[in-house]
């Protein structure tokens, strides 16, 4: 269906649908309706984005603590069931595989995680977090760049993807 906006010698009107005389409305009310509809489909307000950004920053802190403590219950709470992780050497793991790798495999675990260069971008119900992490521990010291993708489903934010790239010292 199309909306026809026209002017005649008496006033400005809108006819909907454009092919017939079924509905002719004076311009002022239709302008109000169109404005309301346009505003309803615009991206979230700056306040919504700021609130989402703060929520994501809190979740990133929880994620860091979960990694440090190998907290598998936190992994279940923070990671979406369809979570994917790509490691520094290109390994691919799902949520269960990631939790298992943290719980006792040869994969190094750090004792300190220092995050810098953190950037959070919110796109409605999706947030992309990038940053740099310096990790130290008895079996590992290194720096990585990371990307985390968070999605809000049914009012809850969950990480759906994480990727790390090792940084070469120097």
CATH number at residue 139: 3.10.450.50
- Using only C-alpha atoms, the chain has a radius of gyration, in whole angstroms, of 25
Structural domain range at position 28 = 4-40
pLDDT by position in tens, the chain (length 170) = 344 444 444 444 444 454 555 454 454 555 545 544 444 444 556 677 889 999 999 999 999 888 878 888 999 999 999 999 999 889 999 998 888 777 665 555 667 778 999 999 999 999 999 999 998 877 778 899 999 999 999 999 999 999 999 998 76
Dihedral sign for Cα atoms in the order 145, 87, 156, 122: positive
Neighbours of 73 (CB within 10 A): 9
| Pair (36, 52) in one structural domain | no
Q: Domain check: are 34 and 57 in the same one?
A: no
Counted residue by residue, the chain has a size of 170
Burial class (CB in 10 A: 0-12, 13-18, 19+), 122: buried
Q: Are residue 92 and residue 31 in the same domain, yes or no?
A: no
């Amino acid at each position: 269906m199309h909306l026809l906006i026209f002017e005649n010698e008496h006033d400005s009107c809108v006819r909907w649908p454009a092919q017939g005389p079924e509905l002719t409305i004076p311009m002022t009310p239709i302008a109000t309706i169109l404005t309301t509809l346009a505003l309803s489909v615009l991206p979230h307000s700056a306040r919504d984005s700021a609130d989402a950004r703060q929520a994501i920053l809190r979740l990133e802190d929880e994620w860091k603590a979960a990694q440090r403590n190998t907290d598998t219950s936190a992994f279940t709470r923070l990671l979406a069931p369809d979570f994917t992780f790509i490691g520094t050497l290109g390994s691919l793991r799902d949520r269960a595989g990631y939790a298992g790798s943290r719980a006792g495999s040869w994969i190094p675990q750090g004792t300190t995680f220092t995050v810098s260069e953190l950037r959070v971008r919110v796109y409605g119900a999706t947030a992309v977090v990038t940053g740099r992490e310096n990790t130290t521990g008895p079996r590992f010291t290194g720096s990585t760049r990371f990307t985390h993708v968070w999605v809000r489903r049914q009012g809850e934010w969950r990480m759906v993807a994480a990727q790390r790239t090792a940084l070469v010292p120097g």
